[in-house]
A and B are shown apart, each in its own frame.
Chain A
């Protein structure tokens, strides 16, 4: 009896989530992207994000014409799962046919795209600590290194050498942001009256550098460097849906 009750409770609690996902997918396939987005956003607020969910939200945002939000969704999906095919396809579509500018990845970033960012970080830390502890543990115990220790040291060192470019690519890949505003320009100086350098399109991906006076120094895909207002761009990394640009009321 108790088991039946537990099962019923589980079904009851899982039903709305399943329904919402089903409703969202049906609405998306029927062309009602707004409803799909509404349901997926509610799911994210309830359960958290996943790469697949962010990718699907990116698709819906793109169909609604909100290019900035779509790119943020897809980039963040890739930061969670570098192999997510939907996010990759979305970004390829946006850059090839949608007119979105995205910096070419460096060789270490391409190397890093083979695994998830967290995997590279964990691999680097793990190999480093195996290396250190294998060297330190016999010394702590007052003993000499054995053949096993030497084999372990060699393996950890090899793993560390292989994982460092991946971690480095992950590190440089996180310094990217997406232009969110439709009418934004690259400026020469980080001031409100900074001289115009180049136009920025909504959804364009830029490499970010340092921050100053409410502005952030960015490098465009063409290599041009200048300043843009901080609120005009949003980081490519995160575990939340894109932020709202509507001016909120003060508390």
Chain B
């Protein structure tokens, strides 16, 4: 039993978890807006830390309004370590929070809890004298590959002055960054636009390039050197600043993308074009340099391709090394070799780019240059060659024949400007199909004509039907006019026209009885006879005054019956 207790006592440290005690403290206790502070994190552990903290600098949270910077650590007796973090209070009064993070030591990780502090409000009308950094960045949708130029304004305070800055970098995975130098004239221009005087501000620039689409976090950190006026003299300190923004990044649109677009995003202008020699000899290389200027991702732009031509051999472009290149311009140099003599123009160089302001693809073109190429084109290829393997005699004859053919003594012949018939095959095909259609129409018409010739009664009935309908229209007109004579004449004409086709007789020779024989199914024979008497009676027996208008309904029914029979 005693042995067991001894072993448990020896192994206890292995099974027990070393408990770390972490306390945080903000100095000073009460903060004003923009006031720098120091945060002391005291970690007390049962075990040794085995060296200084390793990665706290990269694990500190990046907050837009509370910049933090790891400024050192000190070890005390009893395994106590104090981490010192300096920061700047936000401008907004109220309670603020620094999220928890991890401090990685050589043998363990220590979780630092979140810390709260309070920023008191300034009294109205009072100004604080703290220096601060302000990020100036366009507010719009950006594009993958685009170079975004962000400006950081360092504004002096009444009690503090910023004398410099360093270490500006982006901590976002999807953003590539590069600090750039601002020239004095550029700085003046930018400050005058911003409405700030050079005495009260300093300026830093950084180029950001998004590498993926979506909502991207821009996290920038850096340090500024602050000079504070105190009673005993001036005190210089460096102070962190940080920015955290979310920006929208999209891919450049595929619609309307030119085939020669090579990744340029921004706004570009064609600059000067220079030529090393405007009067070269044939085959003598010359250098064509084109300069593109503007605000774009010029570093990432591939040189525009200029293909070989019939007049020029073109070597691929190279541009000036980056060390001597200006940020806002880029020069591409092509080596051109003329292949033909004469007054030539250099090939056109074109560069397409996507303009994020107009959200459209645009193209610039460098004007072709006039070049006078002197000399005579060299004969590169012998046109006639003799096959060494050919039989003796045959070789000479073949060579002579080939020489004759390949050195034509005349180029006369039938000149033409009309393409071959099969050059536009669809035009030819449709014209032939059209002719075939016309022929088919003619054949159909001919067959129909033959069929009607074999069945003359069809044609006769159709003609009778046309005459009957015409007479019916006259009948109705006479009925509406109340003209008895015209009514009787039109009715008789209609009856005769219809019946003539049925009995194969001449219509004027038909009497009422002929019509009643041809159409025995007529319901009102008396009306037919009365109509005939009225129409023809004057010819045979004096003036007839019998009313026939009242028979209009009967006659219409007769004519309808007759029309139906003709159509059957």
Contacts and interface: CB of A to CB of B under 8 A. Distances in A.
A247 B307 contact: yes
Interface string A3-41: 000000000000000000100110011011110001010
6 contacts: A34-B342, A50-B412, A51-B413, A52-B411, A52-B412, A117-B422
Interface string B348-372: 1110000000000000010110000
Nearest to B313: A182
B411 A56 contact: yes
Contact of B443 (A33, A136, A171): A136
A245 interface: yes
Interface stretch (B29-37, B85-93, B380-388, B515-523): B380-388
Interface stretch (B207-215, B239-247, B400-408): B400-408
Given A65-B381, A139-B443, A52 B416 contact: no
Contacts of A122: 421
A117 B421 contact: yes
B423 interface: yes
A48 interface: yes
A101 B463 CA distance: 75
B564 interface: no
A25 B384 contact: no
A17 B234 CA distance: 94
B394 to A, nearest CB: 15
Interface string A61-98: 01111100100000000011100011011100100111
Contacts of B421: 117-118, 121-122
Nearest to B407: A29
Contacts, number: 171
Contacts of A43: 411
Interface of A is mostly: helix
Contact of A249 (B308, B309, B365): B365
B22 interface: no
Interface of B: 259, 306-312, 339-342, 345, 347-350, 365, 367-368, 376-377, 379-381, 383-385, 387, 402, 405-423, 425, 428, 432, 435-436, 439, 442-443, 446-447, 449-450
A139 B443 CA distance: 7
Given A56-B408, A80-B416, A250-B348, A63 B381 contact: yes
A29 to B, nearest CB: 6
A52 B408 contact: yes
A140 interface: yes
Contacts of B407: 28-29, 59
A24 B344 CA distance: 20
A223 interface: no
Given A81-B413, A132-B439, 6 more contacts: A62-B383, A89-B405, A90-B405, A136-B442, A140-B442, A248-B348
A93 B384 contact: yes
B489 to A, nearest CB: 42
A143 to B, nearest CB: 11
A140 B446 contact: yes
A224 interface: no
A53 B415 contact: yes
A76 to B, nearest CB: 10
Instruction: Pick the 4 closest A-B CB pairs, nearest first.
Output: A65-B380, A246-B309, A50-B413, A89-B405
Contacts of B350: 247, 250
B327 to A, nearest CB: 29
B383 A239 contact: no
Given A62-B381, A66-B310, A117 B411 contact: no
Given A51-B413, A69-B310, A181-B308, A59 B420 contact: no
A73 B446 CA distance: 52
B288 to A, nearest CB: 12
B88 to A, nearest CB: 50
A130 interface: no
A21 B385 CA distance: 26
Interface string A183-200: 100000000100000000
A147 interface: no
Contact of B415 (A28, A29, A47, A96): A47
Given A142-B450, A249-B348, A21 B420 contact: no
B422 A170 contact: yes
A33 B379 CA distance: 8
Contacts of A33: 377, 379
B535 to A, nearest CB: 43
A246 B365 CA distance: 15
A210 to B, nearest CB: 15
A93 B379 contact: no
A122 to B, nearest CB: 7
A97 B310 CA distance: 23
A192 B302 CA distance: 15
A247 B348 contact: yes
A237 B419 CA distance: 9
A233 interface: no
Contact of B410 (A38, A52, A133, A246): A52
A32 B345 CA distance: 22
A174 B419 contact: no
